[in-house]
Amino acid sequence: MTSASKRESIARRVAQEFRDGYYVNLGIGIPTLAASFIPEGCEVILHSENGLMGIGDYPLEGEEDADLINAGKETVTTIPGSSFFNAAESFAIVRGGHIDITVIGAMEVDQQGNLANWMIPGKMVKGMGGAMDLVAGSRRVIIAMQHTGPDGASKILKKCTLPLTGVKVVDTIVTEMAVMKVTPEGLQLLEVQPGFTTQQVLEATEADLIVKEPVPTCPL
Amino acid sequence: MNKVGTIEAAMAKIQDGSTILMGGFGVCGIPENLVRALQAKGARNLTIVSNNAGVEGAGIGLLIENNQVKKMISSYIGENKILEQKVIKGEIEVELNPQGTLAERVRAGGAGIPAFFTPTGVGTPVAEGKETRNFNGREYLMETAIRGNVAFVKAYKADNHGNLIYRMTARNFNPVMATAADFVVAEVEEIVEAGQLDPEQIVTPSVFVDMVIKGERYDKRIEKRVNRQKSGAGV
């Protein structure tokens, strides 16, 4: 699987979790790609933590406006029905539980739903930005990431080794191999992605996975 | 009432060691004229409270390159390589706050609230040394208010009383920063007479603002110019 096809299969599956009328925050990277696969007939309003509800498409060349950017500092547009607000209000929206789904990337996730995605000890720390608020406050947190790191090691662990972004905040993990859900019993394998078997997922995962056969394949 | 001032009068409020709150997200909605004047003034040992730290050659980046900054209180400093080098060498201290915590600490500072409890950062390095308390079965962290000696904000328009309106996402941290300093300077693209802004549209009421300045030049640098032919929506 190429990196691009992995990213697309993750984003495609994540977008199937959206429902009509949801307010959603998408992190930088694969999470952002999910906006391209929002199901037909499903209107989702995208939140940008710098102070915009209702992110539109990227602008046409020549129509960029320096005063209109997303949280990744990219030029954007707005949709009809959008609104602007200040940083404190933006995070009242987040912390107050008004965001239905946050989709975010991760360096490590563990089977208790702990998330690490902001610092590696000994390396320059760039900052957590809004990640800690988003995972602490959103109604549901979906992790969108590749199953393994560049070295092939599992990013889904029994216990995170890196400093945490949030404790017991993750609901669902979507990778190019599988969909997993954090349950009170542990991390359950919900679906395998097309082209993968349960056995392959188990071999690529360091965390203990609860498997209830038969494990369905993700719908395309 | 007329709060229209000069950039020189604004600079007179800054001393070595001042704590300055600044609006902006990345280099969007930053008080760029005030920052350039501050670079020219050369005040040192400054503590800057701002979500980001500018980029090389723009925004707070100018003050960092000019060795004027002692400490940054921010949520994300990743775009500034010169700052990275200074942090590694120990020349600048950086205090990283979750973005919502940073906004709320300043909001609290302006609202007369000395501290508050938030779920953000519980069980992470952010919680180290902070009081925690359980409310309704969930653990929360105590975070304290932030205030500044001076705030520099950027708005789109002001009237001569100091009422402010903003433009799109250039609003960001500006309205919050405008509430929490002993002296608040707003730089704007246009100043009108009191009565010419619709009171229903005012975002920052004049009571928060001490001085208004018309910015001489706006570069409005774009950090990441992305256009529509790229796949994916603009998020």
Q: Tokens 């972004």 correspond to what residue?
A: A165
Which of B89, B55, B71 shows the shortest CA–CA distance to B20? B71
- Angle, helices A87-95 vs B99-111, to 10°: value is 120
- Which DSSP symbol is given to A134? H
B89 contacts in A (CB within 8 Å)? none
Residue bearing the bigger pLDDT, B82 or B108: B108
Tell me whether residues B175 and A131 touch, CB distance under 8 A.
Answer: no
Q: What is the pLDDT of residues A62-113, one digit of tens each?
A: 999 999 999 999 999 999 999 999 999 999 999 999 999 999 999 999 999 9
In this model, does residue B230 exceed pLDDT 70?
no
Residues 186-225 of chain B whose Cβ lies under 8 A from any Cβ of chain A: 203, 220-225
Cα nearest neighbour of A54 on chain B:
B235
- Token digits of residue A161: 């080794």
Q: How many residues does chain A have?
A: 220
Does the pTM surpass 0.95? The reply is yes
Quick one: average pLDDT of B208-234? 87
The confidence score (pLDDT) of residue B78 equals 87
Q: How far apart are CA B165 and CA B235, in angstroms?
A: 25
Q: Is A81 left (phi over 0), alpha (psi -120 to 50) or beta?
A: left
CA distances to A16, A88, A185, B108 from B166, in Å: 36, 15, 49, 21
Q: How far apart are CA A155 and CA A162, in angstroms?
A: 11
Cα nearest neighbour of A83 on chain B:
B168
Query: What percent of chain A has pLDDT above 70?
Result: 100
B175 touches chain A (CB under 8 A): yes
Q: What is the pLDDT of residues B52-100, one digit of tens each?
A: 999 999 999 999 999 999 999 999 998 788 998 999 899 999 999 999 9
Quick one: average pLDDT of B128-147? 98
A163 contacts in B (CB within 8 Å)? 124-125
The answer to whether the bond into A214 is cis (omega within 30° of 0) is yes
Q: How far apart are CA B120 and CA A120, in angstroms?
A: 20
Which residues, 6+ apart, have CB-to-CB distance to A112 below 8 Å? A159, A168, A182
Which of B85, B86, B18, B22 shows the shortest CA–CA distance to B54? B22
The confidence score (pLDDT) of residue B231 equals 52
CB B211 within 8 A of CB B182: no
